[in-house]
Amino acid sequence: MKDIPRITLNNGLQMPLLGQGTWNMGDSAAHAAAEVRALQAGIDLGMTLIDTAEMYADGNAERITGQAIAGRRDEIFLVSKVLPHNASKRGTVAACEASLKRLGTDRLDLYLLHWRGSHALAATVEAMQTLVGQGKIRGWGVSNLDTDDMDELRQTPDGDLVQTNQVLYNLSRRGIEFDLLPDSIARGVPVMAYSPIEQGRLLKDAALNSVARRHAATPAQIALAWVIRQPGVIAIPKASTVEHVQQNRACLNFTLSEQDLQELDAAFAPPRRKQALQML
């Protein structure tokens, strides 16, 4: 099995370019055991990057994640996120401590601002740097920030220490390719693509299915292979079953040809102008 390549962040940490998302996990106690097994199966397959957030199922996704990583914390690259209304100087620290408690760990590898709210970026960054100094996080980043927000962030004291920007990116959501993605890559700030298969809505597309048949792959595998084909892009698909995790992991077995890419470009046109950053 091919190892999962890693991306080196600006602070020297190495993050796998294929991981596991937890959005929509933790909503049902009846599904909790299966979700834990799915995350553990992914870890066994080398998908040790796990992304979660205090918002997901009101903290229950973090609890699910905590169960999945129990006894294996040192294997995991763990990411969580603070809600905008908690992202004040003091609120960020308190929210992080609550997340750590739910996750059953003493540290996060990355802590992200989930999206921009009313609190000043300077206050959030100061709190993030406090958490780094306390050893509670190893680095910090942002999510759902567009190019102008990233420019403002970099002009904030210590704002250039941002390690990643997690945004919506998939075949049907290509707007970031016009400016945000190339700018991020040029600055060494990887993009974490959430909803890389558009929560399944991509999977019936005729062009995607045609490429998948050519490779004897599933449409989801081709959609994931497309996302992570370029340097500086990480995908965090969510899977609730072991079988689904295994299928996601196998996306690394497929290399898309120029013909594949041209067909997908014809079906999902790349942007020709600036587009507002999309969110789910």
By CB atoms closer than 10 A (0-12, 13-18, 19+), residue 31 is middle
At residue 252, the pLDDT reads 96
Give the active site residues.
Answer: 56
Mean per-residue pLDDT of the chain: 96
The pLDDT of residue 2 is above 80: no
Tell me how far apart the alpha carbons of residues 107 and 153 are, in angstroms, rounded to a whole number.
Answer: 24
Instruction: Band the pLDDT of 88: cuts 50, 70, 90.
Output: very high
- Fold for the domain defined by 15-203+233-240: TIM Barrel (3.20.20)
Report the pLDDT value the prediction gives residue 203, as an integer from 0 to 100. Answer: 92
Mean pLDDT of all residues in 152-167: 97
Return the sign of the alpha-carbon dihedral for residues 254, 258, 236, 190.
Answer: positive
pLDDT value for 1: 74
Tens digits of residue pLDDT in 256-280: 999 999 999 999 999 999 999 999 8
Whole-number pLDDT of residue 200? 86
Domain ranges of the chain: 15-203+233-240
